[in-house]
Structure formats: C-alpha cells, structure tokens
Amino acid sequence: MSLDQIFTKLEESLSKSPFKLIEPLVEATHTFLLTPGKATRRGPHVRDNIDLKRYMFMVIVALLPVIIMGMYNIGRQTGISDFWLAIWKGALVMMPVVIVSYAVGAFWESIFAKIRGHVINEGLLVTGILFPLTLPPTIPLWQVAIGISFGIVIGKEVFGGTGMNLLNPALTARAFLFFTYPGNMSGDSVWAAVDGFSTATPLATAAAATGNAVDALHASPLHYTLNNMFTGFIPGSMGETSTLAILIGAAILIILGIGSWRIMLATALGGFGMASLVHWLAGPTATGMLSLPPVYQLVMGGFMFGTVFMTTDPVSAAGTNTGKWIYGILIGVMAILIRTFNPAYPEGMMLAILFGNVFSPLIDHFVVQANIKRRLRRV
C-alpha cells in the first residue's frame, strides 16, 4: 500500500469514528507529505508552482537566521561561550515554547477546520513560530498555550479564519499575554535564562533616564551600546534582539518576493522620520526617550522584528500598493509616538502594528475610492 493510499484510508475511517475532530490534522499531514495532485478545472490550464505551503515555508526560511541567533543568544546569556553548546542550550529553552505554540495552535485550527468544513490553513506554520520569537525565554509554557489559543481563536477564527482576520494572530497572542500577565511579560525588566537575574530593558532604561538616554544605556549593568543592540547579544525576547539577523531575514523575504519591501521600507522610514522629528524638536537638552538618536530607536526593542515579520503579514496588512506605503508609515510613526509620549508602554511597536492592522481596511478603502474616482473622471 502506498503512502497515499494509507492516508486516504485513514481519513475515510476517521470520518466515521469518534475521533473525527482530528481528521483535518490527518488531512493536513497528508498534503504536507504529498502534493494534492489536483488538476486544473479550467484555463489557465497550467499553474504556478507556488502554493501557500511553499509561501509560508519561505517565511520560515527567512526566520532561520533569527531563530539560530535567538538560540545562540539564549545560551550565551547563560554564560556558555562555546558556539554549538550555546545553541544547544538555547534550543532546549526555545523548542518547548515553539512546540507548545504549534501543538496548541494546531489543536484549535483542527477544531475550527472541522466545524467550518475546510482544511487547516498554512498560516499556522508562520503564526506558530512568530509568536514564540516575541516571547522571553523564561515564559511559562502554560502562558504560551493560553496566548496562542487567544491569538488563533480571537485573533483569527472568530473573524472567519485565515484571510479574514483583521489582526495579526501572533501579535494578538503576544498582546494578550502582555496585558494579562505583565509580571512575566513586562516591558520594564528583561529576562535571561538565568534565575534571579533581572535588569531594565534598553527601552525602559532610556525611558527612565533622567539625563541623556545614551549615557543611561551605557551606564546600565548590561552596557547597552548601539553595537550590541544591533548584533543582539543582550537579553531580550527570543527573536527580537538581533537587528542583524532580522535584516538578513528581510533580505531573504525581499529577494524571494515574499515580504513586501514597500511595507518594510515605509515602516522604517516612518519610524526614522518620526524619531528624527521628536529628537530635533526636543533639542539638545532633552532627557529620557526624547534624547535618543533616531538610529537607536530602530535597533531597540521589537521595532525591526515587527517591521520585517509582523507588519508584512499579507492578511492583516493593507493590500493595495499605495495602501502599503500609508500603512507602513503610519505604523512607524505610531510606534515612536507611543514609545516617546506614553511612559506606560515603552515598547510601542506591538501596539502600533495592531493599530495599523485595524486601520488597513480603511486605508485600502480610500485607495479603492481613488481608483474609482480616476475612472469616473474620464467619463
């Protein structure tokens, strides 16, 4: 019996058994192992080889530098200097989080797929890894399970599933944990995989600085510099610390044509522009966040990770090309505004992206109206 026949038989018998809720999972595994092999019904009679599995797989390829760097950094923060040993240590910390995220996510996807009578969508492949990368290594696994449940169910499925969701599910999950368990997620102190070690994050340090923020960063016990915040050898969320790894990921996304360069560029420009503006308006005597040079804003916290991997989610972002520019700039500007003027949330990126997600249908609406007006003007 071939692999194909085994699966077909399994699916048939499952659909009649009390375990039919897991049928979508079996179906998903089937098409994961073997292409569906369906033929075109009508013209065009041939189709591009890309499908959503390939598409999402490529996002994971682009995340690989971030994942490896994240693992290495976790190990390094615990004091291991050997490269492979550090990665091993990091994997031991990161993998349980990732596995819980995927497993609980798949559970909910399967239930909703069965109820709605459709197949499991490949979006989970990306959501399931993006979410853990925004979490601290010390996150309790039960919180991971609750977070991803909220992200999948409330962030996505209640809107009708992948393609219909307003918000980025991974970010919704993170926002939920951020507001529900601030003790484990707080933006004030950082986490490392060493017990009992805690100090302020770069953003919190800058926000709390009574003098020049750059000096305060240098004075921190972790000696934050532009250099180590760029390379990412500081404690922090598992995938967010290394701007370098994130930029490699961005290059992969853009070269493969998977992530929208328009959104990435617009967000970075919006953030840099706004940071420059507030920095300039505040003048040389400013203190705290206002005294941060604009480049610092881009490498600190989750700005870059959000710009490259979160804003570009094709479902929750603006869909029109003009809309993508507006959407990106809006997010960049909002992130800096929240960071600078709202002391309660030193990390503004997450909220700014969710804000951008909410506004993206409206942005697209205006772009569509402009298209209609152009057409009417000719008549």
Contact residues toward other proteins (CB under 8 A) are 3-4, 31-55, 57-58, 119, 121-122, 161-164, 255-258, 260, 262, 314-315, 317, 319-321, 324, 364, 367-368, 371-372, 374-376, 378-379
Cis peptide before 137 (omega within 30 of 0): no
Closer to other proteins by Cβ: residue 92 or 370: 370
Q: How far is the CB of 5 from other proteins (least distance, A)?
A: 11
Closer to other proteins by Cβ: residue 49 or 210: 49
Distances (CA, A) of 373 to 15, 168, 327, 362, 368: 51, 31, 21, 16, 9
> How many whole angstroms separate alpha carbon 324 and alpha carbon 322?
5
Closer to other proteins by Cβ: residue 125 or 216: 125
Q: How far is the CB of 308 from other proteins (least distance, A)?
A: 16
CB count, 10 Å around CB of 371? 12
Q: How far is the CB of 192 from other proteins (least distance, A)?
A: 35
Closer to other proteins by Cβ: residue 73 or 312: 312
Tokens representing residue 171 in the block: 């970010």
Q: How far is the CB of 33 from other proteins (least distance, A)?
A: 6
What single string gives the DSSP state of each residue in 207-262?
A: HH-SSBHHHHHHHSTT---HHHHHHT-SS-STTTS-HHHHHHHHHHHHHHT-S-HH
> How many whole angstroms separate alpha carbon 122 and alpha carbon 113?
12
Q: How far is the CB of 85 from other proteins (least distance, A)?
A: 29
Q: How far is the CB of 262 from other proteins (least distance, A)?
A: 8
Using CB atoms within 10 A of its CB, is residue 360 exposed (0-12), middle (13-18) or buried (19+)? Answer: buried
Residue 78 gets which letter from DSSP? T
Closer to other proteins by Cβ: residue 33 or 85: 33
Closer to other proteins by Cβ: residue 93 or 268: 268
